[in-house]
Amino acid sequence: MSYFDHMQHLADADKQYIWHPFTQMQDWIKKDPIVITEGLDCFLKASDGRWYLDGVSSLWVNIHGHRRKEVDDAVKAQLDKIAHTTLLGLGNQPSIELAEKLIQLTDERFAGLSPRLSKVFYSDNGSTAVEVALKMAFQYWIHKGLPGKQHFIGIRNGYHGDTVGAMSVGSVDRFHATFGPLFFPSFKAPSPYCYRCELTREPSECGMACLSALEGLLKEHSGDIAAIILEPLVQAAGGMIVWPEGYLNGVRELCRIYNVLLIADEVATGFGRTGKMFACEHEQIVPDIICLSKGITNGYMPLAVTLATDEVYNAFLGEFRELKTFFHGHSYTGNPLACAAAIASLDIFFSDKTLETMHGKIAVVQDALQDIASLEHVGDVRNKGLMIGIELVRDKTTKEPYPWDEMIGWQVAYEARTESVIIRPLGNVIVVMPPLAIDMDNLRHLMYVIKKSIIAVTIKEKEGV
């Protein structure tokens, strides 16, 4: 079988055997899929022999580029020792070293602030990190003698994963509505989505009414609330919604006033994506619990961590007979291969001075977005660091969105593929989230192709082509 026959066989077998996530399979099987065969730096090689620029970091997980030697070597070295051993009743070297490194990192990044994050609980993806956080918060109040505090407040347009608990506190209807009967009840506060304010206010005069609405919920229900969970500064899967300055700080203060925990879901925003190591740094706040995943291993291995304060951790300490144990765990908790990859990835942040190099890249993005914002069918552009959203609209004056079934975002993504660029939209929002290691030339090219693709698709749509 020739190489190209083999690649065609793979494409056909994909359509025959694989059920893809977040994918309408009836549409998928009509086309030949792009099958990735290898990667290097910020590029992916496909079965058609072309190299594509990875404009979404392989779904927001790759930080330092593909086939990064330091991470490759760390995983290979660990593989020569042991691939997996449980943390249930045992420890393992890489998980201990990574936990120490993470606490040292948060100590450094949040120096002088309180509370202090001090304990690491491992799981394997963003959803499980959130489930851990929810269960920690729930059980914490039981141990504190306040068992009535068993509900949560989420922020509308928030997305925390696809497990039942994570969906229960999330609020992206197109992903969550179908499963509503499975959810436990939770409260939802208005999203600080200034372009489409659900309170119909203008940012210049609203006085952050969404924060006042959140306080109203807390005033009425604080005795029932275990925690507020949010994605600090950027609601990623909700449409790359960037929050106004001061909102996050305001939420932290409300949590103190009304005696509820704050859970920061930094699965998407953590590890440099916003221009700082953690998004919470921008407003100098520390949550009681923080969830991290995605970029933690540079996209090499599934791994997640939930970091908690001593205040939370100490509530679970007691005699064996008291059953205060946190009864939660996963088979691959603290997997040594994944922890080895994470240690290497964290080291690269410092050897490459990753965060220091981002200032120029963010400036390139903002210049490009200013240009893109002038296009007839671009309603809003927004970014925090290299987390970028471009919202397409049918009518710029009225903000009328394109109908869902026109797949306008996907049309732009398919057009970009003709220029060897991979992006993945969220409805009408073009999402751009390249590896932080992308160089200036490739970043400029990425933004140029996106602009060119938007123009091509919206002109065709307008002309009915």
Phi, psi of 361 (to 5 degrees): -70, -40
Phi, psi of 226 (to 5 degrees): -80, -45
- For residues 44 and 65, give the distance between their C-alpha atoms in angstroms, rounded to a whole number: 10
The model's pTM is 0.97
Determine the pLDDT at residue 216.
97
Residue 287 has pLDDT above 60, yes or no: yes
Give the pair of three-digit tokens for residue 168: 């229960």
Residue range 348-356: average pLDDT? 97
Residue range 310-319: average pLDDT? 98
- For residues 444 and 425, give the distance between their C-alpha atoms in angstroms, rounded to a whole number: 19
Task: Report the C-alpha dihedral over residues 17, 21, 26, 28, rounded to 10 degrees.
Answer: -80
Closest of 463, 439, 138 to residue 316, by C-alpha? 138
144-172 pLDDT, tens per residue? 999 999 999 999 999 999 999 999 999 99
- For residues 288 and 263, give the distance between their C-alpha atoms in angstroms, rounded to a whole number: 6
Enumerate residues 6+ apart whose C-beta is below 8 A from 84.
332, 335, 336, 337
Judge contact between 227 and 140, C-beta under 8 A: no
- For residues 451 and 313, give the distance between their C-alpha atoms in angstroms, rounded to a whole number: 49
- The share of the chain scoring above pLDDT 70, in percent, equals 99
Determine the pLDDT at residue 100.
98
Angle between helices 440-463 and 354-373 (to 10 degrees): 20
pLDDT band at 209 (very low <50, low <70, confident <90, very high): very high
pLDDT band at 465 (very low <50, low <70, confident <90, very high): low
- For residues 423 and 447, give the distance between their C-alpha atoms in angstroms, rounded to a whole number: 11
Determine the pLDDT at residue 1.
81
Determine the pLDDT at residue 3.
83
Q: Which domains does the chain have, with CATH numbers?
A: 34-64+353-463 (3.90.1150.10), 75-351 (3.40.640.10)
Closest of 195, 115, 198, 116 to residue 156, by C-alpha? 198
Burial of residue 189, with CB atoms counted within 10 A of its CB: 0-12 exposed, 13-18 middle, 19 or more buried: buried
* Mean predicted lDDT score pLDDT of the chain: 96
164-204 pLDDT, tens per residue? 999 999 999 889 999 999 999 999 999 999 999 999 998 87
